Amino acid sequence: MFKRDVQSIRDLVMRNLRLQGLETPLLQKRLVESWPAVAGPAIARYTLNAYIMNQTLYVRLSSPALRADLSMRRSYFVQLLNSRVGSQVIVDIRFC
């Protein structure tokens, strides 16, 4: 008898993505797509655009008052978004 090396499909796919250099873009896409769920429907309604550049999430908002309010809670949103994705993808959020 021989011992089988049983691995989950998720582990195999993630290892393959990592080897091809596609894991980080996938995690970034998941993080950007999870912004409306983390921020909530009221904030998502004022969100015009969200993208990641140099480990910083840029969120463009249509309300200056909301932008000022959210700027004070940046670290809270960074923690929530990274935990939602399961990896440290961003280190900061800029509201513009």
Instruction: Quote the pLDDT of residue 1.
Output: 60
Neighbours of 84 (CB within 10 A): 15
> What is the per-residue pLDDT across 78-94, written as a single tens digit (0 to 9) for each?
999 999 998 899 999 99
- Model pTM? 0.82
Question: Among residues 52, 17, 13, which one has the least CA distance to residue 31?
Answer: 52
